Amino acid sequence: MRMRSSRSRRAGAMTAVVSAVAMLGAACGSSSSASTRGVTSSTITIGATVPLTGPAAPGYSEIAPAVNAVFKWVNAHGGVYGRKIHYIYLDDAYNPSTTVTKVRQLVLQDKILAEVGGLGTPPQTAVQGYLNTQKVPQLFVESGCTCWSDAKYPYSFGWQPNYTVEGKILGQYIKQHFAGEKVGYLFQADDFGEGFVKGLDQEIPASQVVSRQSYDAATLAGPLSNQIAALKSAGAQVVAMATIPAATALALLPAASIGYFPQYVVSSVGADPPTVGPLLSSFSKGKAGSVLLNGMISNAYLPPEADTGNPWIQVTQKLLKQYDVGAPLDGNTEFGVALGYTFVQALQTAGKHLTTSSLMDAIEKHGADFITPGLVPLTYSTTDHYGYSGSEVVKTENGATAPVSPVYVTSNTGPITLYTGTPSQPPSNLASTA
């Protein structure tokens, strides 16, 4: 069943980058006449705003410390070309006007080189214009909005697959495996849900869709009983969901309560078993728990956390254990480590003379060669700022996910194609020293 173990290594551009990684500790920060904002001969200052408190904090507050774990590891091994990474992540409580203020603080007071890993569509679109006019790169935004790849905003870069791409890949799976069955949608009434539905609709015939239910994240206070009741009475046999983890749980609970067990197909955003499982433990005195997740279909662009044989998972575990003490290995922390690692790759590729433009060049020209835990390569180019543009379909059994499809790549409107490359391996120094 473990498809990825049969694949051989992606050798191509890897060697060059590995040697760059090897130089991590070796290079000493000497001459760089750093006039670039945020860069000195011995430090690189970057920042981000993320929700650490408030309704969006559960789960998402784990990401930034995990990103920072990678930087701490790099710093402990001499930094990148002798420069230590100083990562300032501030709480915006998911409130865009707070983001606006805090990002100005990062740019004007802390003089960051770039924002790395700012979280959420509404908060980050609120500062997209500002960061771009200030020519401060807005890197690897933690959101699957299609807005990060926009010629109007050349300094913005997405990272995770956008929601439409996710919807298409899962939509194709539904079309292929549940042909003729009645399909219902349950989605968050915002950019996330609507983007995902756009992808589903490209693949699933409209006649097959019997109900479209949505919920509002701002007023999510209890079980989504009404939506579930509507899906059940419409006879939906497959329920495709674009839900955050809390909403996934608040949908599965009332469904189980009325004995409604459709085939769930859930966006990677809300399907992480270690995150959703504990939320379900309330079902009949904690006994059922993650049993409700059994059989759930989702998509993944990073290796499954439960796959402890995967070298990237091993490395991630080690990094977290040492540099993000007490943090669990779940979808959020795995995401953070992978994202932090992507940025380190960008810094290494940008080279010794780090400037905003060398950093941008590194991502645009060499981003596709970065070694990251992703199952597909990053798509960055001068015209494409999306990031990962594909995923595999996975199924959850006993709290762990395993692939049930090959890896696909696609774009917002293009065809879905099989990815024929091979997954990358962590560079040996990362695997051994972490």
Partner 1 sequence: MAAARLPSRLRLPDQPMLRHLVLCAGALVLFYVLTVNLSSYHNYQVGLIALFAMVIAGLSVLTGINGQISLGHGAFMAVGAYTFALVQEHVTLPLALELLAAVAASAVLGLVVGIPATRLRGPYLAGMTLILALGLPQLADKYNSVFGGDEGLHPSQLVAPGAVDPNRWFAWITVLVAVIVVALLANLVRSHFGRAMRAVRDNEVAAMLAGIHVGRTKVLAFVVSAGCAGLAGAFLALSGGVVTTGDFPLSLSIYLVAAMVLGGAGSLVGPWWGAIAIVYLPQWSTSISSDFGLGSAVAANLALVIFGLVLIIVMMLAPTGVQGGVRWLARRLLAARFPRPPAAAGVTAVAGFPEPPAPATPDMRTEQERTHP
Partner 2 sequence: MSHFVNLSLNGISSGMIYASVALGLVLVWRATRIINFAQGSMAMFSTYMAVTLLDRNLGYWEAFAVALAVGLALGAVVERTLIRPLQGKPELNPVIVTFGLFILLEGVAGAIFGVRSRGVPAAFSQSGLTIGHHRVSFSHFDLFVLGSVLALMVLMLVLFRATDVGLRMRASAFAPEMSRLVGVRVGRVLTLGWALASLAGSLAGLLVAPRSAFSPNYMDLILVYAFTAAVVGGLESPVGALVGGLLTGLVLSFVGGYLGSSLEPLGAAVILILVLSARPEGLFSRPAARQV
The binding site for partner 1 (CB under 8 A) comprises 52-53, 61-62, 64-65, 89-91, 94-98, 100-101, 104-105, 108-109, 121-123, 125-127, 129-130, 145, 147, 189-192, 194, 216, 218-219
Strands (E), 321-376: none
Longest dimension (CA), the chain: 70
| Residues 56-75 within binding reach of partner 2 (CB under 8 A) | 57-59, 61-62
Geometric angle at alpha carbon 50, from 46 and 51, rounded to 5°: 160
Least distance (Å) between residue 326 CB and partner 1: 9
User: Which phi and psi (to 5°) does residue 309 adopt?
Assistant: -80, -15
Least distance (Å) between residue 176 CB and partner 1: 31
Task: Using CB under 8 A, count the residues that bind partner 2.
Answer: 46
**Which single residue is written with the structure tokens 């799976």?**
173
Q: Which residue, 55 or 295, has its beta carbon nearer to partner 1?
A: 55
Least distance (Å) between residue 98 CB and partner 1: 8
Residue 38 contacts residue 112 (beta carbons within 8 Å): yes
d(CA 385, CA 151): 9
**Which single residue is written with the structure tokens 């700022």?**
385
d(CA 282, CA 100): 38
d(CA 71, CA 359): 17
215 binds, among partner 2, partner 1, none (CB under 5 to 8 A by kind): partner 2
Q: Which residue, 27 or 189, has its beta carbon nearer to partner 1?
A: 189
Only segment of 51-59, 75-83, 126-134, 350-358 that touches partner 2 (CB under 8 A) = 51-59
Q: Which residue, 188 or 391, has its beta carbon nearer to partner 1?
A: 188
Instruction: Tally Cβ neighbours within 10 Å of residue 364.
Output: 17
154 binds, among partner 1, partner 2, none (CB under 5 to 8 A by kind): none
Name the DSSP class of 39: B
Q: Which residue, 76 or 100, has its beta carbon nearer to partner 1?
A: 100
Least distance (Å) between residue 374 CB and partner 1: 25
**Which single residue is written with the structure tokens 């997209």?**
128
SS3 115: strand
Instruction: Select the residue interacting with partner 2 from 253, 350, 354, 409 (CB under 8 A).
Output: 253
Residue 157 contacts residue 363 (beta carbons within 8 Å): yes
Least distance (Å) between residue 237 CB and partner 1: 29
The residues pairing with 86 across neighbouring beta strands, listed in sequence order, are: 45
49 touches partner 2 by CB under 8 A: no
| Residues 139-198 within binding reach of partner 2 (CB under 8 A) | 189
431 binds, among partner 2, partner 1, none (CB under 5 to 8 A by kind): none
Give the amino acid at 341.
Answer: Y
**Which single residue is written with the structure tokens 């003379």?**
353
402 touches partner 2 by CB under 8 A: no
d(CA 265, CA 244): 13
Only segment of 31-39, 191-199, 202-210, 272-280 that touches partner 2 (CB under 8 A) = 272-280
HSE-CB for 328 with a 13 A CA cutoff: 13
Least distance (Å) between residue 42 CB and partner 1: 22
Q: How far is CA 306 from CA 27, 297, 311, 381, in A?
A: 36, 16, 12, 32
64 binds, among partner 2, partner 1, none (CB under 5 to 8 A by kind): partner 1
258 binds, among partner 2, partner 1, none (CB under 5 to 8 A by kind): partner 2
Tokens, residue 265: 């197909």
Least distance (Å) between residue 292 CB and partner 2: 11
286 touches partner 2 by CB under 8 A: yes
Instruction: Select the residue interacting with partner 2 from 6, 31, 259, 325 (CB under 8 A).
Output: 259
Which ranges of 105-144 does DSSP label H, i.e. alpha helix? Answer: 121-133
Q: Which helix (H) or strand (E) is 239 found in, with range?
A: strand 238-242
Only segment of 98-106, 200-208, 220-228, 353-361 that touches partner 2 (CB under 8 A) = 220-228
Which residues are near partner 2 by CB under 8 A? 52-55, 57-59, 61-62, 189, 214-216, 218-223, 225-230, 233, 245-246, 249-250, 253-254, 256-259, 278-286, 289
